[in-house]
Amino acid sequence: MRVLNFIIGLGCILLLSQCSNAQKTNNDMNDAHKGNPYYSRTATEHLNVSNEEWQKILPKDVYEVARMKGTEWAFTGKYWKTDTKGMYYCAVCGNPLFRSDSKFASSCGWPSFYETIKENSVKYIPDNSHGMQRTEVVCGRCDSHLGHIFDDGPPPTHKRFCMNSIVLEFEPEETK
In whole angstroms, the minimum distance from the beta carbon of 19 to Fe ion comes to 31
| Cβ nearer to Fe ion, comparing 24 with 46 | 46
Among 62, 137, 138, 142, binds Fe ion (CB under 5 A): 142
Give yes or no for residue 117 binding Fe ion (CB under 5 A).
no
In whole angstroms, the minimum distance from the beta carbon of 127 to Fe ion comes to 18
- Beta strand spans in the chain (E): 86-90, 96-99, 103-104, 112-113, 122-127, 134-139, 145-150, 160-163, 168-172
What is the distance between the alpha carbons of residues 104 and 78, in angstroms, rounded to a whole number?
Answer: 15
CB within 8 Å of 168: residues ≥ 6 apart: 79, 88, 89, 90, 91, 97, 98, 111, 146
Give yes or no for residue 66 binding Fe ion (CB under 5 A).
no
- Is 162 tagged catalytic? yes
Among 90, 163, 166, 168, binds Fe ion (CB under 5 A): 90
Give yes or no for residue 95 binding Fe ion (CB under 5 A).
yes
Angle 106-107-111 from CA coordinates, rounded to 5° = 45
Give yes or no for residue 92 binding Fe ion (CB under 5 A).
yes
Which stretches of the chain bind Fe ion, using CB under 5 A?
Answer: 90, 92-93, 95, 139, 141-142, 144
Residues labelled catalytic: 162
